[in-house]
């Protein structure tokens, strides 16, 4: 070919050249991974990669000397496991880990490569495949270990065996049915974390979204005395047994909510052993405790006298519950951004009022269990309109009160707020 000496070569931007090379490499490695997923390593050749990627064989050879380098580069691109997202409750962390394992087996290396590992078609590649699975397995082990420490899983759980069981569960489902249902991760989480509940569906990135119910609530350690009958004024009776249990109206609400939706609790505990018991009880039920603040005070306690006929007498010592800061509650709600705010009257009035104001300002559902009993008075202006789930007479606290935007219901609920509102 004759080149005119007077014609200068066209200028190619270095930035454009770098982008072009990156795009070509992505097409090449993407084709390698696609062939691996569908057919295993034996079907990966320069010719098959060129045909699938649309990149010329000469271009591929300029980047990769042979098939082995192609495979090594493709597998290296999948070697590192992503970190666990922050802010997930126990249920969501375990489910995210299962999704990570599922993607590794179905998309990163695929069943074609799994078959090659099981038959050891290429010992060198087998090690590379195992590195990918093991990087994900290490993340899974860390998540399960944290769940054990939080009390969500039993303390004597063999972590290595548990991770192998999770991987085997996916492979077993595929071998038995030829496919793995989308509900696989949820079903496995229910098996390994029976106290946990359904999480919010994943968003477009596959990462579980935030918890949908935020409970602004009290937490108490209950000291329960079982008696034949409650003592009369000035009378002493002999008790049958004495026991301690996690309690508090807010804590009970969050555990109940976690059975049907991903839930977080916003509250306060002290620095004593009771705080550890209450936190573990929440976590074992699948409730996120990231917004459970620890204050320099005693954890809330309740003294319960329980008679055989089911009647009871309860005295609550609020402790750290009484020190919960409304500003902390508002900041926690801003971070969680829940669809539903659930609370009760066992916290200081400014705290409950802050929760109601946050929900009203963002048009979120606000659910108030008006207990312990307090006389109700007409609500102050600017508060969310409320409707009761039962027929509530003036100055009673029976039934649940729910926030709504309906102005027609406000007349029926003019007595919805306690007098300190």
pTM > 0.75: no
312 within 8 A of 247, measured Cβ to Cβ: no
pLDDT tens sequence across 349-405? 999 999 999 999 988 889 999 888 665 444 443 444 443 333 333 333 333 333 333
| Mean model confidence pLDDT for the chain | 75
Number of H helices, E strands in the chain: 13, 11
Residue 299 has pLDDT above 90, yes or no: yes
Q: What pLDDT is stored for residue 150 in this prediction? A: 63
Cα–Cα distance between 396 and 373 in angstroms, integer? 8
Which has the minimum average pLDDT: 127-141, 220-234, 368-382, 391-405? 391-405
Residue 222 has pLDDT above 60, yes or no: yes
- The domain segmentation of the chain, as residue ranges, is 15-76, 90-192, 213-325
Question: CATH classification of 15-76, choosing from 1.10.3720.10, 1.10.10.10, 3.40.630.10, 1.10.10.60?
Answer: 1.10.10.60
Q: What pLDDT is stored for residue 350 in this prediction? A: 93
Q: What pLDDT is stored for residue 353 in this prediction? A: 92
Cα–Cα distance between 159 and 142 in angstroms, integer? 9
> How many CB atoms are closer than 10 A to CB 1?
2
Reduced to 3 states (helix: H, G, I; strand: E, B; else coil), residue 252 is helix
Tokens of 145: 């270990």
Highest mean pLDDT among 11-25, 93-107, 345-359: 345-359
> How many CB atoms are closer than 10 A to CB 68?
14
Question: CATH classification of 213-325, choosing from 2.60.40.420, 3.40.1190.20, 3.40.50.300, 1.10.390.10?
Answer: 3.40.1190.20
Residues 6+ apart with CB under 8 A from 51: none
- % of the chain at pLDDT higher than 70: 76
Tokens of 141: 């082990």
Confidence at 90, pLDDT banded by 50, 70, 90: low
pLDDT tens sequence across 38-50? 777 778 888 888 8
Domains 15-76 and 213-325 share a fold: no
Strands, sheet with 300-307, edge to edge from the N-terminal-most edge strand: 239-247, 220-227, 300-307, 312-317
């Amino acid at each position: 070919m004759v080149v005119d000496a007077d014609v200068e070569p066209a200028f190619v931007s270095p930035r454009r050249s770098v982008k072009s090379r990156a795009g070509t490499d992505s097409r090449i490695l993407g084709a390698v991974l696609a062939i691996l997923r569908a057919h295993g390593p034996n079907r990966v050749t320069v010719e098959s990669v060129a045909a699938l990627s649309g990149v010329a064989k000469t271009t591929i050879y300029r980047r990769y000397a042979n098939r082995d380098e192609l495979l090594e580069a493709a597998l290296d691109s999948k070697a590192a496991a992503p970190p666990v997202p922050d802010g997930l409750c126990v249920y969501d962390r375990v489910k995210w880990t299962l999704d990570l394992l599922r993607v590794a087996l179905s998309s990163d290396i695929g069943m074609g490569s799994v078959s090659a590992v099981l038959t050891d078609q290429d010992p060198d590649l087998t090690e590379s495949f195992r590195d990918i699975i093991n990087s994900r397995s290490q993340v899974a082990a860390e998540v399960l270990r944290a769940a054990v420490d939080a009390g969500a899983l039993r303390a004597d759980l063999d972590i290595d065996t548990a991770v192998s069981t999770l991987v085997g569960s996916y492979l077993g489902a595929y071998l038995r049915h030829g496919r793995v249902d989308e509900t696989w991760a949820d079903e496995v989480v229910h098996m390994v974390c029976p106290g946990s509940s359904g999480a919010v569906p994943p968003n477009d990135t596959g990462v579980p979204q935030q918890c949908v119910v935020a409970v602004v609530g009290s937490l108490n350690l209950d000291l329960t005395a079982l008696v034949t009958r409650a003592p009369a004024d000035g009378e002493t009776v002999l008790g049958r047994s004495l026991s301690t249990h996690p309690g508090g109206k807010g804590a009970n609400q969050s555990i109940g909510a976690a059975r049907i939706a991903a839930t977080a609790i916003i509250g306060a505990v002290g620095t004593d052993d009771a705080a550890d018991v209450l936190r573990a009880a929440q976590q074992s039920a699948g409730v996120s405790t990231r917004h459970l603040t620890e204050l320099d005070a005693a954890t809330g306690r309740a003294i319960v006298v329980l008679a055989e006929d089911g009647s009871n007498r309860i005295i609550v010592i609020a402790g750290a519950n009484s020190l919960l800061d409304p500003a902390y509650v508002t900041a926690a709600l801003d971070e969680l951004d829940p669809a539903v705010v659930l609370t009760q009257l066992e916290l200081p009035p400014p705290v409950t009022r802050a929760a109601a104001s946050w929900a009203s300002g963002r048009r979120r559902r606000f659910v108030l269990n008006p207990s312990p009993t307090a006389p109700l008075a007409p609500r102050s202006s600017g508060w969310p309109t409320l409707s009761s789930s039962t027929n509530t007479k003036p100055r009673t606290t029976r039934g649940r009160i729910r926030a709504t935007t309906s102005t027609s219901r406000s007349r029926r609920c003019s007595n919805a707020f306690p007098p300190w509102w």
